[in-house]
Structure formats: C-alpha cells, structure tokens
Structure 1
Amino acid sequence: MRIKELAEARVRYGYRRLHVLLQREGWHVNHKRTYRLYSEEGLSIRTRNPRRRRACRYRSGRSEADALNDVWAMDFMSDKLFDGRPFRILTIVDCHTREALATVARTNFRAYQVVEELDRIARSRGKPRSIRVDNGPEFAGRLLDQWAYLNKVELDFSRPGKPTDNAFIEAFNSRLRQECLNTSWFLSMADARHRINDWRIDYNEERPHSALGNLTPSAFAAQLKPARKVA
C-alpha cells in the first residue's frame, strides 16, 4: 500500500527510487521484494505512449486541498524587460485559499533560491503538507528533495505534458500574464519586481475570486484556521 501511495505522488519514479524512499521511512525490505511488488501492482511506466491505443496510462490519484497550507502549487514564468533582457518569475499559490504566496522575479533561478523562498514563506505561515510542481531542474533536483524530506513535505510531480495536473498554478499564471505582464513595460529588474509584487498584493487583498464566493483570497484565508502550525 505504501509503495502505491509513493508511486502516485511521484509518477516518474521507478522502483529503485521508490525503494530509497521506503528505506528513508524505516521499511526494512530489500530491492528484490520492492521490484516484485512494484511489478505485481502494475506500477511500471513506459517512456513512450503508444499511438492510437490506451495500453499505457499514467498512475492517477492525488490529495485534495481541503485546508489552508494543505497543498501549495509552484511554477516558473518567463518575461522580458523593455530592452529584450529575459527574466523569470517564481510563482507559488495556496491551492485552497488561492493566495499568491510569492511572485519572485530574477534574471535566473537556482535550486537553493527556490528553497530560500520556501523557507521565507514557511516562517510566516507554516509549512505545507504537499507542493505540486512540474519536472523542471529547479524542482526535480536533490536540494529541493532534501528540503522536502527534512520538513516532511510531499513533492507532487505533474506528469510530463500534462499542465492540467497543476491547474491552480496554471490558472494563476494566466491571470498574472493577462493582468500584469502583458500590460506592463518593465524598465529594469527593480521596476519588474515592484510592479509584479504590487499586482500580487492587489490580487490577494482586492481582487474578488469567483471560486471563493467573490471573496478575496486574503479575506477567505482569514476565516480559516491554519492546517499546520509554524515550526
């Protein structure tokens, strides 16, 4: 049962990686037994989907966001300054309250900078139970995996080519693109950070959200008790 739970959360992990996760959790089992159970449960993943057939399918099933800090979603966006210089934006949202927890703009991102931002948010509101991410190098690397393991946070990876697996962050990114990035002319990185953060504050505190009964994300969150306490 635990192998199936881990496989559903980490859809691109083979039995070897799942075996490592089991060992971390204290399961005293050798890799041969892990492989036998992995095969018997039909958890193997083919690297290519067959055409015109349904013989191959990805594992399904994931946790729902039922409370504040239950599930976060995280992604990257790209844009350019007025002179064509590119920059990236790290976006993080709470899937239950729809709060925009971060919209951090940098010329480039490293894995340790993603971890630093997660630590900053966790200090003010607590840690999430799960974070939905794609398979980008900043998210699939060892540093974030180590942070998640030490903080008892589950990393829920999207299936390749399936943006709907992380629909909350995709919807948020679309609003950020339409309402801020496409309507702004950024003169510098400082200007981009200022404008994007102002939009985030307005999104949280002023913009009504139809999925929340037209409350703002901040007003909706204020009605809830935190699902996890600040460490």
Structure 2
Amino acid sequence: MYCRLGLNLKRKVKKTLPKREKNPLSVVNKPNIQWAMDFVHDALYCGKRFRTLNIIDEGTRECLAIEVDTSLPANRVIRVLERLKEERGQPQQIRVDNGPELISVNLLNYCEYNGITLCHIQPGKPAAEWIH
C-alpha cells in the first residue's frame, strides 16, 4: 500500500568499516607505549551540546589531555596530538574506537607519517577500550 502511494521511507545504509586485524588487548606498564583516545559528549543546562576529547596514557593511567569544544574535527585532534608530542614525546600505539573523527584519512595519514600504530577496538565493544 505504502509503495503504491509513494509513502515508503528510504532505509539508511549502514556505513561499513574497513576490515582490520583483531589484535588482543595488551597490558602496558610503561609510559608512552600506548595511549587511549575517546570522545564524551554532554549538554549544558541551556541545551547546547559539547564534546570532550580525552587522551590517557595506558601505562601510567595519567590523563594527558582533555580538549573541550562544541566541535572537535580530526584536524583539531591532530593539533592536540602535536602538542602532546612536543611536551611528552609520542606513543608507539593509540587505541581508538570507530568514531568519525578517529577513522578520518587525516588522522590515519598523521599516524602513518609519525610511525604511530592505530589500534581500533572491535565495533560494538566500547568497554574494550578501557579494560586491562
């Protein structure tokens, strides 16, 4: 009935992620070996939404950076990583989820250029990012 009247809705096509190696989570006990990077979002009392980029050193469990803004595109993430690189050096690996800012070509190119391995967690397993 809906099809004949032209009322049917288009289904959204789920964006497929590229195939990646499934690496087991490693336990790190030295600084600057592996960092974890993730976003948290919330809203102010007036309804305005904001996001925070959190970067944690997996070896020391130290919070290296918290960047807060209404928009945090991949180029902003790269600027934060550059600042941390100058202050502390760079990690060998960065563990991330599959968010749009963290799968961008700019971030992939930055990590490849600097010799940093991006370790993506399995889709649908957000707890894997923080479990040791």
**Paired letter, 2:101:** E
User: Equivalent of 1:134, from 97, 105, 108?
Assistant: 97
State the Cα distance separating 1:60 from its structure 2 match: 4.2
Higher strand fraction: Structure 1 or Structure 2? Answer: 2
* Structure 1 Cα separation of the partners of residues 95 and 23 of structure 2: 14
User: Equivalent of 1:154, from 101, 117, 122?
Assistant: 117
1:114 aligns with 2:77: yes
- Gaps in structure 2 of 5+ consecutive residues: 1-16
Q: What is the aligned partner in structure 2 of residue 93 from structure 1?
A: 56
How far does the alpha carbon of each residue in 1:38-94 deviate from its partner, in whole angstroms, 9 at most, with x for none? xxxxx7xxxxxxxxxxxxxxx342443131001000000011222110000000000
Higher helix fraction: Structure 1 or Structure 2? Answer: 1
* Structure 2 Cα separation of the partners of residues 131 and 110 of structure 1: 17
- With normalisation by structure 1, the TM-score equals 0.47
Question: Is the partner of 1:78 in helix, strand or coil?
Answer: strand
1:105 aligns with 2:45: no
* Structure 2 Cα separation of the partners of residues 64 and 152 of structure 1: 21
Q: What is the aligned partner in structure 1 of residue 47 from structure 2?
A: 84
**Paired letter, 1:93:** I
* Structure 1 Cα separation of the partners of residues 96 and 115 of structure 2: 16
Q: What is the aligned partner in structure 2 of residue 171 from structure 1?
A: none
How far does the alpha carbon of each residue in 1:202-228 deviate from its partner, in whole angstroms, 9 at most, with x for none? xxxxxxxxxxxxxxxxxxxxxxxxxxx
The root-mean-square deviation of aligned C-alpha atoms, in Å, is 1.9
Q: What is the aligned partner in structure 2 of residue 73 from structure 1?
A: 36
Q: Is the 8 A contact 1:64 1:71 kept in 2?
A: no
Q: Point out the structure with max Rg over C-alpha.
A: 1
- Gaps in structure 1 of 5+ consecutive residues: 1-11, 19-42, 44-58, 169-231
> Identity across aligned pairs (percent)?
37
Q: Is the 8 A contact 2:38 2:53 kept in 1?
A: yes
State the Cα distance separating 1:109 from its structure 2 match: 1.2
Q: What is the aligned partner in structure 1 of residue 126 from structure 2?
A: 163
